[in-house]
């Protein structure tokens, strides 16, 4: 086998003139292809162990491990998922600027490690509810890119049939996408109460941003969740700016993981998908063991402004954004780890990039050509599994029929 690989290598290293002189031009490209294939299937490590940043703890004697094992298969899956979310959000940016997507639109690029790490640590039967920066979680919970982009363009093939838009996307065990700041937190506690009531060993992950962290309803929810020992992970995605206000200007204490007071908490590097994964596993086990709720703060960063109406550079500098991109980008961090530990090659990851771009372009093509929902469907799907009923329109002479 070694002799065969050396022979292939010698042919690859031949100059084009020498190869042509030998009549082996085709052999060069063929040898290259065989060598890449050979490397893809034989030379890579199956797994590697990585050091991670230690989590800050509150009311916990010990926290998640500072080392994590990642298999080659897991790494490739995390990389593809994060790249898909990144490219999907960049395409949404483009469609918005072309005025094909209208209304509110909050993009998730930069924060991909949060949703991917969380999903890698929980079960499909667990429950997730978040705020309006929801595209990433919609994808990791199982909604295809095509349905997400089609929902953004308001077409009938969208995951909410074109009637939800950016902030209101749903699928099984994923409850949105909520437009009212902080309102999803008590709803998440309600879902966790249902998990405990039915005794299915399920948990609810309730996400909110640093901008919502000062809401009174969040502290009321913390109190109820602690009293009832609800299996709920309260997750603050701290991307450092609530709309255009930095956390330092908005909060007397920026230790969001301590905000639960009597609830244990941990602060996590939200730009490291493995750190998020291991911390979420730790928090999930805490909840499943009957210890009640836990608070998790993910320190992350968004590259876009708060929404598409926010250029994102009036309250922070371009240099700050570029520094985060160059030093802490979650996709670059994972890519470097995989290549440096022989879990993947640059060429293989480039192939994934090409496939992702193709998928996004095809999804965007569908999203811009799919028809809009007809007017008669305006009031359908108000309730689930209910008999049809009449809904009054904008005046008393117009009515619509609602079916589940």
Residue 25 confidence class, pLDDT cut points 50, 70, 90: very low
Least confident of 18-22, 45-49, 237-241: 18-22
- The predicted-structure confidence for 291-306, as pLDDT tens digits, reads as follows 999 999 999 999 999 9
pLDDT tens for residues 139-188? 999 999 999 999 999 999 999 999 999 999 999 999 999 999 999 999 99
Report the mean per-residue pLDDT for the chain.
91
Please report which helix (H) or strand (E) contains residue 317, including its range.
Answer: none
How far is it, in rounded angstroms, from Cα 350 to Cα 114?
23
Contacts 24+ apart (CB under 8 A), 70-73: 70/274, 70/337, 70/343, 71/46, 71/47, 72/44, 72/45, 72/46, 72/47, 72/338, 72/343, 72/344
Where residue 105 falls among pLDDT bands split at 50, 70, 90?
A: very high
Question: Using H for helix, E for strand and C for coil, what is the string for 156-201?
Answer: CCCCCCCCCCCCCCCECCECCCCCCCCCHHHHHHHHHHHHHHHCCC
Instruction: Convert the pLDDT of each residue in 267-293 to its tens digit.
Output: 999 999 999 999 999 999 999 999 999
Asked if the model's pLDDT at residue 23 lies above 90, the reply is no
Question: What confidence tier does 397 reach under pLDDT thresholds 50, 70, 90?
Answer: confident
pLDDT attached to residue 29: 46
**Is residue 72's pLDDT more than 90?**
yes
Residue 42's pLDDT is 65
Q: Which residue has the higher pLDDT, 233 or 41?
A: 233
Report how far residue 4's alpha carbon sits from residue 38's, in angstroms, rounded to the nearest whole number: 11
Q: How far apart are CA 272 and CA 70, in angstroms?
A: 13
Using a 10 angstrom Cβ sphere, with 0-12 exposed, 13-18 middle and 19 or more buried, the burial of residue 179 is: middle
Is residue 225's pLDDT more than 70?
yes
Calpha distance 229→294 (Å, rounded): 10
For residues 87-111, give the mean pLDDT. Answer: 97
Considering Cα of 243, then 248, then 251, then 257, what sign does the dihedral take?
positive
The residues, ordered by sequence, that sit 6+ positions from 217 with a Cβ below 8 Å of its Cβ are 182, 183, 185, 186
Residue 10 has pLDDT above 90, yes or no: no
Element (H, E) at 41: none
Task: Answer whether residue 194 shows pLDDT above 60.
Answer: yes
* pLDDT value, residue 5: 45
Distance CA 85, CA 135 (A): 8
pTM: 0.89
Contact of 76 with 344, CB cutoff 8 Å: yes
Over 88-104, what HEC string results?
A: HHHHHHHHHHCCCCCCC
For the chain, percent of residues with pLDDT exceeding 90: 83
C-beta pairs of 352-355 under 8 Å, 24+ apart in sequence: 352/76, 352/79, 352/80, 352/83, 353/83, 355/80
Question: What pLDDT shows up at residue 372?
Answer: 96
């Amino acid at each position: 086998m070694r002799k065969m690989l050396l022979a292939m290598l010698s042919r690859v290293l031949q100059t084009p003139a020498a190869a042509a002189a030998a009549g082996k031009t085709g052999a060069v490209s063929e040898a290259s292809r065989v060598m890449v294939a050979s490397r893809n299937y034989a030379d890579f490590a199956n797994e590697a162990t990585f050091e991670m940043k230690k989590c800050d703890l509150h009311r916990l004697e010990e926290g998640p491990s500072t080392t994590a094992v990642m298999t080659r298969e897991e790494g490739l899956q995390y990389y593809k998922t994060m790249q898909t979310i990144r490219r999907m959000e960049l395409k949404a940016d483009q469609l918005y600027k072309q005025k094909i997507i209208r209304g509110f639109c909050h993009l998730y690029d930069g924060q991909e490690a949060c949703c991917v790490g969380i999903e890698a640590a929980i079960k499909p039967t667990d429950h997730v509810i978040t705020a309006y920066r929801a595209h990433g979680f919609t994808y990791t919970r199982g909604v295809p890119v095509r349905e997400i982009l089609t929902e953004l363009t308001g077409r009938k093939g969208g995951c909410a049939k074109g009637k939800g838009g950016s902030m209101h996307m749903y699928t099984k065990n994923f409850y949105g996408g909520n437009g009212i700041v902080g309102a999803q937190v008590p709803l998440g506690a309600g879902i966790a109460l249902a998990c405990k009531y039915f005794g299915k060993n399920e948990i609810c992950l309730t996400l909110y941003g640093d901008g919502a962290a000062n809401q009174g309803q969040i502290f009321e929810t913390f109190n109820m969740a602690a009293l009832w020992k609800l299996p709920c992970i309260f997750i603050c995605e701290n991307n450092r700016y609530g709309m255009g206000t930095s956390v330092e200007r908005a909060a007397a204490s920026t230790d969001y993981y301590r905000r639960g007071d009597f609830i244990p908490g941990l602060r996590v590097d939200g730009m490291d998908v493995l750190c998020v994964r291991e911390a979420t596993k730790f928090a999930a086990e805490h909840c499943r063991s009957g210890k009640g709720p836990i608070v998790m703060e993910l320190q992350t960063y968004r590259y876009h402004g708060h929404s598409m109406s926010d250029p994102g550079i009036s309250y922070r500098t371009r240099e700050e954004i570029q520094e985060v991109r160059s030093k802490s980008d979650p996709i670059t961090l994972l890519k470097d780890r995989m290549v440096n530990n022989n879990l993947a090659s640059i060429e293989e990851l480039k192939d994934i990039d090409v496939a992702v771009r193709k998928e996004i372009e095809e999804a965007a093509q569908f999203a811009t050509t799919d028809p809009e929902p007809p007017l008669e469907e305006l009031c359908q799907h108000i309730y689930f599994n209910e008999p049809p009923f009449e809904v009054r329109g904008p005046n008393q002479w117009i009515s619509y029929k609602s079916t589940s």
